[in-house]
């Protein structure tokens, strides 16, 4: 997506829009139906950015469709405002502002609760339109007499008052809407939106303010909906009150699912199928009210058999026909070679990210700790997972943390990265109190972790995964560079190549995560954390689930990336920790049992007791 041929999609869109009015009538589409498809298409572009790209399923888009439409229609009828396009833009802006306010409330929740809030808010808008605001919206009569647009050419004025000329007007705006949307989804913001869709937890953990980006997507969708609502009034010469109805939102969701979410064109294709079938079933087959039954069955069949919609399904079929499917079925792991390790070392030398420029020598005596935990305690009801832990790491140190199952290691790590708040105690990073900060802010400061269970962006490629993490480092936690190209982000490629080389995935760069072997996914998991260029890297069970060969490779990998970096590793694999760490902290029953060098820990009776339950080690 990031490296497409410039303007190919735009050129094909223009060609399709020019050809459509000549082709579609031969397939049984009436001119009015073709125009309605375009209105739904514009409506759907914004919705697809919200649903298909960001993963937020809203059932409340009718609120913004109706708001934009009513504002434009009110200006053009009751207020006698003469400029159609200006009215459409004002309607769009009002819908965007309303979207911002609604988004502030709805985005406080996720998943089904988010969807339910959007339904409820749309119902509120429907009620308000029909009752308190009926004087402005026409209540159940809607607003008739919306004028058609015209274009003043100086010597004459062109009126878009026939079906054909209205098609040109609508197609022009669809094209503009698509060009803008393509820029957005190809921008750094678009990359972050896809990351949020795939894994919001990790998107925030690599340093993105996901609430800000979700709100952005919500406002964009509301603005598109508002503009499309205005187009509906202009196209029909009448702004209908049913624009506000739940059916409108539901139809938009179904059309997007039919066409294919996350494609931008899916809603247009879905609207084409939906409106064609609805015309065909009612007017040609005279099915009366039963048309919805047939449409429902068609919808269920399509969604069951084409889970990625018509566009996604067609792309899959094409890929299969081209023989790519066979190649992707069985992932083959590309093991780390000695050459990869040399490359990783060279990458570490070649690129000296800013954080490391000031790094201290490993475990430098007398240096101030980079990380300190003072009296950290975490209680879950009556259960004390961590109790009064005092712990510090020096710059450049590689610390290991071990402990039997349930000792509280993961809880401790989660508190250190501010994923969960401590019940008591404080955490200091580079002398700064970070207790109570968010995981995003802490990552921006240079403290992040890799996860025990992979937290990757599964629908993205290796490069796109690392790009998302590097973007947080290079752009900060929130930036609205909606129309910028990722290639223009200074040093992005350098950072991605650096992380790729460090984790030995340079030859898998364009492979989707789903096709990676397990060991490669584990390396990418570490790569994501490294791409944020952390000053302190915490690794939560990096050897979890690995085969002996993968474990050996990962030990080598960590040795090559550790040079001068400050790292803390939690793992059950004692051999690996003893090989890697300079000092080891042993946790037991939520407390620090002992701390020392690997030799001291190996021979410590209390540690043997904790692990062996009292049986003396041989």
Residues that bind ligand ATP (CB under 6 A): 380, 383, 385, 403, 405-411
- What gap in Å lies between CA 194 and CA 2, rounded to an integer? 12
- What gap in Å lies between CA 392 and CA 221, rounded to an integer? 47
We find the least distance from the C-beta atom of residue 304 to ligand ATP, in angstroms, to be: 37
- What gap in Å lies between CA 61 and CA 586, rounded to an integer? 54
Between residues 209 and 417, which has the closer beta carbon with respect to ligand ATP? Answer: 417
We find the least distance from the C-beta atom of residue 540 to ligand ATP, in angstroms, to be: 8
Residue for token pair 């449409």:
295
> How many C-beta atoms lie closer than 10 Å to residue 33's C-beta?
17
Cβ pair 197, 53 in contact under 8 A = yes
Residue for token pair 């259960």:
383
We find the least distance from the C-beta atom of residue 114 to ligand ATP, in angstroms, to be: 23
Element (H, E) at 579: helix 574-580
Which tokens is 520 given? 């490669």
We find the least distance from the C-beta atom of residue 226 to ligand ATP, in angstroms, to be: 42
> How many C-beta atoms lie closer than 10 Å to residue 127's C-beta?
12
Between residues 459 and 591, which has the closer beta carbon with respect to ligand ATP? Answer: 591
We find the least distance from the C-beta atom of residue 554 to ligand ATP, in angstroms, to be: 18
Q: Are strands 566-570 and 536-540 parallel, antiparallel or unpaired?
A: parallel
Between residues 180 and 420, which has the closer beta carbon with respect to ligand ATP? Answer: 420
We find the least distance from the C-beta atom of residue 517 to ligand ATP, in angstroms, to be: 24
| Alpha-carbon 439 to chain mean position | 17
Between residues 343 and 449, which has the closer beta carbon with respect to ligand ATP? Answer: 449
| DSSP letter (8 states) at residue 512 | B
We find the least distance from the C-beta atom of residue 419 to ligand ATP, in angstroms, to be: 11
Element (H, E) at 425: strand 424-429
Between residues 204 and 452, which has the closer beta carbon with respect to ligand ATP? Answer: 452
- What gap in Å lies between CA 62 and CA 429, rounded to an integer? 47
Report the DSSP beta bridge partners of residue 150: 159
Between residues 119 and 537, which has the closer beta carbon with respect to ligand ATP? Answer: 537
| DSSP letter (8 states) at residue 49 | I
Which tokens is 186 given? 């190809």
Between residues 110 and 131, which has the closer beta carbon with respect to ligand ATP? Answer: 110
Between residues 453 and 615, which has the closer beta carbon with respect to ligand ATP? Answer: 453
We find the least distance from the C-beta atom of residue 405 to ligand ATP, in angstroms, to be: 4
Write down the H helix ranges in 187-265. Answer: 188-198, 200-205, 210-236, 246-259
We find the least distance from the C-beta atom of residue 574 to ligand ATP, in angstroms, to be: 13
Between residues 165 and 377, which has the closer beta carbon with respect to ligand ATP? Answer: 377
- What gap in Å lies between CA 147 and CA 160, rounded to an integer? 10
Which tokens is 547 given? 């085969």
Could you give the count of Cα atoms lying within 13 Å of 579 in the half-sphere of its Cβ?
Answer: 14
We find the least distance from the C-beta atom of residue 408 to ligand ATP, in angstroms, to be: 4
Burial (CB count <10 Å: 0-12, 13-18, 19+), residue 185: buried
Between residues 374 and 379, which has the closer beta carbon with respect to ligand ATP? Answer: 379
Q: Are strands 447-450 and 536-540 parallel, antiparallel or unpaired?
A: parallel
Give the residue from 208, 46, 191 showing the smallest Cα distance to 485: 191
We find the least distance from the C-beta atom of residue 259 to ligand ATP, in angstroms, to be: 41
- What gap in Å lies between CA 38 and CA 28, rounded to an integer? 16
Cβ pair 194, 474 in contact under 8 A = no
Between residues 386 and 467, which has the closer beta carbon with respect to ligand ATP? Answer: 386
Between residues 267 and 408, which has the closer beta carbon with respect to ligand ATP? Answer: 408
Question: How far lies 346's CA from each of 137, 272, 441, 559, in Å?
Answer: 67, 54, 30, 14
- What gap in Å lies between CA 241 and CA 257, rounded to an integer? 25
Residue for token pair 């190809």:
186
We find the least distance from the C-beta atom of residue 575 to ligand ATP, in angstroms, to be: 16
158: three-class secondary structure by DSSP: strand
We find the least distance from the C-beta atom of residue 598 to ligand ATP, in angstroms, to be: 19
Cβ pair 123, 131 in contact under 8 A = no
Long-range contacts of 100-106 (CB under 8 A, 24+ apart): 100/215, 100/218, 100/219, 100/222, 102/60, 102/63, 102/64, 102/218, 102/222, 103/214, 103/215, 103/218, 103/219, 103/222, 104/215, 106/58, 106/60, 106/218
Between residues 95 and 205, which has the closer beta carbon with respect to ligand ATP? Answer: 205
We find the least distance from the C-beta atom of residue 224 to ligand ATP, in angstroms, to be: 40
Between residues 122 and 407, which has the closer beta carbon with respect to ligand ATP? Answer: 407
Which tokens is 151 given? 């274009």
We find the least distance from the C-beta atom of residue 567 to ligand ATP, in angstroms, to be: 18
Between residues 123 and 388, which has the closer beta carbon with respect to ligand ATP? Answer: 388
């Amino acid at each position: 997506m990031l490296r497409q041929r410039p303007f190919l999609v735009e050129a094909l869109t223009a060609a399709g829009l020019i050809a459509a009015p000549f082709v579609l009538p031969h397939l049984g589409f009436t001119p009015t139906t073709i125009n309605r498809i375009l209105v739904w298409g514009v409506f759907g572009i914004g919705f697809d950015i919200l649903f298909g790209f960001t993963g937020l399923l809203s059932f409340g888009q009718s609120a913004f469709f109706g708001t934009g439409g009513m504002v434009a229609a009110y200006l053009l009828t009751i207020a006698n405002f003469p400029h159609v396009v200006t009215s459409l833009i004002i309607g769009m802006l009002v819908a965007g502002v309303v979207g911002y306010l609604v988004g502030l409330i709805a985005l406080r929740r996720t998943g089904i609760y988010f969807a339910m809030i959007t339904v409820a808010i749309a119902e509120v808008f429907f009620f308000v339109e029909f009752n308190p605001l009926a004087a402005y919206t026409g209540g159940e009569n809607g607003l008739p007499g919306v004028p058609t647009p015209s274009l003043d050419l100086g010597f004459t004025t062109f009126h878009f008052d026939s079906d054909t000329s209205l098609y040109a007007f609508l197609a022009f705006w669809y094209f503009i809407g698509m060009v803008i949307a393509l820029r957005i989804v190809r921008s750094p913001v678009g990359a972050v939106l896809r990351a949020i869709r795939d894994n919001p937890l990790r998107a925030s953990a690599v340093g993105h303010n996901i609430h800000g980006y979700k709100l952005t997507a919500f406002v964009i969708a509301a603005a598109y909906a508002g503009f499309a609502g205005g187009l509906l009034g202009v196209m029909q010469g009448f702004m209908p009150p049913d624009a506000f109805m739940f059916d409108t939102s539901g139809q938009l969701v179904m059309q997007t699912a039919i066409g294919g979410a996350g494609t931008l064109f899916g809603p247009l294709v879905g609207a084409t199928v939906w409106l064609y079938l609805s015309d065909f079933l009612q007017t040609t087959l005279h099915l009366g009210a039963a048309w919805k039954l047939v449409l429902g069955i068609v919808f269920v069949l399509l969604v069951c058999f084409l889970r990625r919609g018509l566009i996604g399904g067609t792309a899959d079929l094409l890929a299969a026909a081209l023989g790519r499917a066979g190649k992707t079925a069985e992932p083959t792991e590309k093991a780390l070679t000695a050459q990869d390790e040399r490359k990783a070392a060279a990458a570490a030398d070649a690129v000296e990210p800013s954080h490391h420029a000031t790094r201290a020598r490993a475990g430098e005596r007398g240096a101030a700790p980079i990380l300190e935990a003072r009296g950290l305690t975490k209680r879950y009801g009556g259960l004390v997972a961590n109790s009064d832990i005092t712990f510090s790491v020096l710059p450049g140190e590689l610390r290991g943390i071990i402990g039997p199952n349930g000792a509280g290691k993961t809880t401790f790590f989660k508190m250190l990265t501010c994923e969960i708040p401590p019940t008591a105690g404080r955490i200091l990073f580079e002398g700064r109190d970070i207790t109570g900060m968010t995981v995003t802010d802490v990552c921006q400061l240079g403290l992040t972790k890799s996860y025990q269970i992979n937290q990757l962006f599964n629908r993205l490629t290796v490069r796109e995964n690392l790009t998302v993490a590097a973007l947080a480092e290079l752009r900060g936690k929130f930036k609205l560079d909606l129309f910028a190209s990722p290639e223009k982000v200074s040093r992005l490629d350098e950072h991605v190549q650096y992380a790729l080389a460090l984790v030995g995935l340079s030859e898998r760069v364009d492979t989707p995560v789903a096709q990676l072997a397990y060991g490669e996914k584990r390396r990418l998991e570490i790569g994501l954390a490294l791409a944020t260029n952390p000053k302190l890297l915490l690794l939560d069970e990096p050897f979890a689930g690995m085969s002996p060969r993968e474990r050996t490779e990962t030990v080598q990998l960590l040795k090559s990336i550790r040079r001068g970096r400050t790292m803390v590793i939690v793992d059950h694999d004692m051999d690996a920790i003893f090989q890697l760490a300079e000092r080891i902290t042993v946790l037991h029953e939520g407390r620090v049992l002992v701390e020392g060098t690997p030799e001291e820990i190996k021979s410590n009776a209390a540690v043997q007791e904790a692990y062996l339950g009292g049986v003396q080690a041989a």
